[in-house]
Structures are given as C-alpha cells and as structure tokens.
Amino acid sequence: MRPSWNWKWLIVIAALGCPHSRTNAQTPSADKCPRPTAGSTVPEPPDLRSENGVLEVELAFRSFAGADGQTRYCYLSPDGSEAPTLRLKPGDQLVLHLKNELAVAAQSKGTSAGPSTPSMKMGMAGGSMAMPMSTAAASPCASPAMTAVSTNLHFHGLTIPAVCHQDDVMNTMIQPGDPPFEYRFQIPADEPPGLYWYHPHIHGLTKAQVLGGASGAMIVEGIERTNHELAGLPERVMIVRDQDLVNPNAAPAVGIVALPPPVLDAEGDAMNTGTGSGKPAKDLSLNFVPVPYPNYPPAVIAMKPSERQLWRVLNASAITYLNLQVLFGNAPQALGVVGMDGVPVDENGMSGDQALWVKHVGVPPGGRMEFIVKGPPEGVKGILVTRSVNTGAVGENDPERTLANIVASAAAPEPRSKLAVSPQPLPPATLPWIGNTKPVRTRRLYFSEIPQDPKDPNSPTTFMITVEGQAPKPFDMNTTVPNIVVQQGDVEDWIIENRTQELHDFHIHQIHFMLMDWFGLHVDEPFLRDTVNVPFWDGKSPDFPMVKLRMDFRDPNSVGTFVYHCHLLEHEDGGMMGLIRVEPRSQSATK
C-alpha cells in the first residue's frame, strides 16, 4: 500500500528505499592511520580554516595493515591530524597539496582492490576498464597507470570545473613517488553554504580506499545566514564510515532473539534478511570510533543538558545506508533538518528560517544531512541509532544498531565551533528557482545488473546504468565518448528507473538536482540534492520503480566532462557509471 506523501515525510523515505565514557585510546605510534577504540567518546575532526581568503593544506595519503587483516587508508596533515575538516567561505581559494605515500605492496586481505573482486573480474572480462600496472613517470593529469596504489581526490558536491587540479576524476591519477600534487580552485561566490566532502575516486578502486577510511568533511561556511534559527548554535561534524566486519564469524550477541542466519553474497557481504536484524554487511564507525558487530558497543557523545546543537552528518560509507534517529528512552526526538547535500533547505524554493521537523532522517552513501538536535535533560538516557534499511532482496543487510550513547552533563565540553550570533542574510539567488523552470527535454536512464550465473542473482555481477536507446554495457574507463551531451544553461528532466532487486543510490558530479516524482507520484520537495535513492524492483511488477529529477546545468562551472553513477561504490567500481559532457553555451548540443 502506498502511503500519502508529503515533503516533510519524503525527506526521510526518499533516502531509504521504500517497499559510559572512556578517553580516546589509540594504537601504537607505528600505526600510520591510528583510530580510537570502541566505546570511546566521539572526537571532533580537526579543523583547518581559511585565512585571508586562502586555505593552504598539505595532506599525505597513507595506508596501514591492521592486525585484523584489513587495510586502513587515511589523510594526514603535517602535525599528524587525521581527516581534517576543511572550512572555507564562499569566494575563498583552496590550495591542497596531496602526497601519495601508499606502499606499492599495500593490499588488504579483507578489502582487496579492484580487479580481485568478483564484480571487477566481470568488468575486466567485459572490457570496462584497463589498468596498466606500469608506474612509469607520466603527468598525473593524464596518467596511463591505474593501480591499487593510485589515488586522486573528488570534492563531492562542490560546483567546480571537472578539470585537472580542480575536480577531474577521469584522468588525474597520482602515483606513489610522485611529487605532491596540487589541487587549486576557488569556492564559487554563490556556492550554497553547507556540508561537502572529499574522497578518492579511482574507478575500480574507489570502494577499497573509502572502505578503509579515506574521507574527510568540507564546510562552506555561512549556513546560519540562510536561517536565523541557527544563529549562535554549537556545531558538530560527525562522519559515519563503514568497514569490513571485524568479527565476521561471531555468533549474534546474547539477548537478541530470533536472528535469521546470515546469507552471504559472492563478495562475503551479508544479504538483506528483510527482518531489520541479522549480521550487517559492514561494521560502522562514528568519527572513526568503531561500533562493531555483534555487540555494537556504542560510542559516547557528551552534551550539556538540553542544549541545542547543529549536527552536520556525513555518510561516508562505501555501501551502507543510514536511517538516523535520536531516542530519549524509547521516545523518538524531533530533528530539525536545515540542510541536505550541502544545500540549505530554504536557500531557494522555500521561505526563510525553515527547518523540516522529522523523527528520523535517511542518509544514503555519499549523502549529507544537517539538522538541529536538542540534547537530553540531565539524568535522561539518550541514544543515536540507525534503524534498518530495506535494500531489496539481493541488497546488503543494513540492520538496526545503536551508534552512540548521548550523555548529558553540565561538565560536557562545548563543541569547538559555533555559528555566528548575528549573521548577515545571504543575497537572494540570481537564477529562477529550478522548480519553476521549464525543462528543455526529458531523458530516461535505468539501472540494471547481469549476474555471472543467471540462476543465481548473488553470483559475481556486472553493474550498469544505461541511457534509454543505448546498448547496456559497464562503464569503459578508456572511452572519451559521452553517454549524454548537454548545453550549459539548460534544465532537463531525467527519469531514472531501477530494473534490479536492490536499492541504488544515484549521484552526479558538479551539479545538484530537484526530486520531482517518486515512482510516478508528484513530490512537493522544494530543495536540492546530489544523491537520491531509486527504490528496488520487486521482481514481479510490470512497472519498474523510478524517480524523476530536474537537472540544473545553468552554472558555467558545470561545463566539461564528468560522471554520474551509483554511489554504492561496489556498484560504481563494477561499471554502474556514465559519462556526461556539458558544452559551453555558444555550442549546440548534439544529443
């Protein structure tokens, strides 16, 4: 039965897929990517802030083979700070020097990269990518070598050009031994204030590096300028990451009743049990504090009693969906959503000072949510949980689990950052609201999968996203021919179908879009996204689930060639990606 839809509820569902404190203990100094222990107080990521309009950063990209057989990846600044949050204002310049310090032999037993995974074997067999193992000297802007130790950076959500030294992920490949590679670009003066992030984007290898922890937050300052309800609030950055199970063979925790036996797919991930319980596909962490299966020892968030804070939450998981909820006792608490995917909810389509008050928020992989939270009164137990997410019959299992205890104490330290007390409003938008703009055309795309064994949908799989009328095939890293050509200045409607029995998470680089329809139902959602879930097919219905998106190519910074893909990185690595070229306004689109 389809429920009655409205935008306040849809903000939750559209991202989901419908049908005792201890000090932070770290591993020995030999650990290149040190992490807190389970049960620790959630640390705040270190902040690096722009000064006089410039933020210059040095980051070393390193790996460390843990005792559990998994490879960790991390970004370290010269003082040893891990995964710093980069804070800039609109108009500021970022100069980031990235040094690839991965060891050539760095391989994880649990997160083997690219070609060793079943899905990538299928992709290689289908000719989806070539990965020469030679590391001969070449320009990182046109490197022929793409190996398990290549890397680059994608600045997820920012409206900056897809060119080398800015946000190119197609040709930029930085190798171990290369001199520090310089990223240099300006945050657009009209970039929406909010939460963005950076992570590697080497096709075929992205999952391994992100799963190992390679991610960090970026903040474009000034969200309080769009909503005076935020003025003066303390703010927290919280990054949820996933990783391979530390205890994959552990029995379920005592006291949990009637857990179904886990079903594993060809890559060892737990398939969706459909019950909201069972073994998860991946463990989670909160600002690197692990919350491992089977006991899920919660991290600790300390707050002053009943204090209001802005939580800026990034789902930097490789494949895990979140459905976040704050509980006092068993009572869900209201969360005031003020930003999504880096864009304030009242920046364009809504009147000012809006917050969408909901009882839980869905955050797909790659998505961001910024919301107002009121802490528990002293003596009242609060918890942060992620509820189960139904990812479909052949999707990974994302069960319910507690992430953190929220402890109210008058002695709790204040968060490091606080929003301006008397912010000046942002200037009004210069372009008409996209929801009121007529699209010049409508395109149809669809997700599909081909299992190696048609009789076994869980066998190694080739993943694809196809423009209707074109032949389905996995993404070819060697191609220069775009699947879609658009003219800068255009607005288009894209209908994206899901012809598979698992949830997919559509994402496009360089631009944002507006969700217009959900499975044929009109959506009154006057705000923007850069990630959205497309619900899974039940395997029976004659109609495939779909979303209709209004795509905005009006920004001149969108000119260039970039990608769209499923943000489940196993799927993207396995071929579920396409290429789009946005031509300058003076040229005519040819497709």
Region 193-197: mean pLDDT is 98
pLDDT of residue 457: 65
The answer as to whether 97 is a domain residue is no
Q: Is the pLDDT of residue 346 over 90?
A: no
> Using CA atoms, how far apart are residues 201 and 169, in angstroms rounded to an integer?
6
Tell me whether residue 251 is exposed, middle or buried, using C-beta atoms within 10 angstroms of its C-beta: 0 to 12, 13 to 18, 19 or more. Answer: exposed
The answer as to whether 392 is a domain residue is no
- Host domain of residue 467: 434-583
Judge if pTM exceeds 0.75: yes
Region 25-40: mean pLDDT is 77
What's the number of domains the chain is made of? 1
The answer as to whether 12 is a domain residue is no
> Using CA atoms, how far apart are residues 207 and 506, in angstroms rounded to an integer?
16
Region 405-434: mean pLDDT is 93
The answer as to whether 534 is a domain residue is yes
Of 571, 580, 395, 400, nearest to 480 by C-alpha is: 580
The answer as to whether 510 is a domain residue is yes
Q: Which residues contact 499 (CB under 8 A, 6 or more apart)?
A: 446, 447, 448, 537, 544
pLDDT of residue 103: 82
The answer as to whether 399 is a domain residue is no
Region 436-461: mean pLDDT is 90
> Using CA atoms, how far apart are residues 281 and 265, in angstroms rounded to an integer?
10
The answer as to whether 558 is a domain residue is yes
Of 309, 163, 113, 292, nearest to 229 by C-alpha is: 309
Helix, strand, coil share (%) of the chain residues, nearest 5? 5, 35, 55
Region 461-472: mean pLDDT is 97
Residue 362: half-sphere exposure toward Cβ, Cα within 13 Å = 23
More confident residue, 496 or 254: 496
Average model confidence (pLDDT) for the chain?
Answer: 87
The answer as to whether 464 is a domain residue is yes
The pLDDT tens digits for 211-246 are: 999 999 999 999 999 998 999 999 999 999 999 999
Q: Is the pLDDT of residue 167 over 80?
A: yes
The pLDDT tens digits for 468-502 are: 999 999 999 889 999 999 999 999 999 999 999 99
> Using CA atoms, how far apart are residues 164 and 141, in angstroms rounded to an integer?
6
Share of the chain above pLDDT 90, in %: 73
pLDDT of residue 137: 55
Residue 463's CATH number:
2.60.40.420
pLDDT of residue 116: 31
Distance of CA 318 to the CA centre of its chain: 8
The pLDDT tens digits for 90-131 are: 999 999 999 999 986 444 333 333 333 333 333 333 333 434
**pLDDT band at residue 26 using 50, 70 and 90 as cut-offs:** very low
Q: Is the pLDDT of residue 591 over 70?
A: no
Say if CB 296 and CB 47 are below 8 A apart. Answer: no
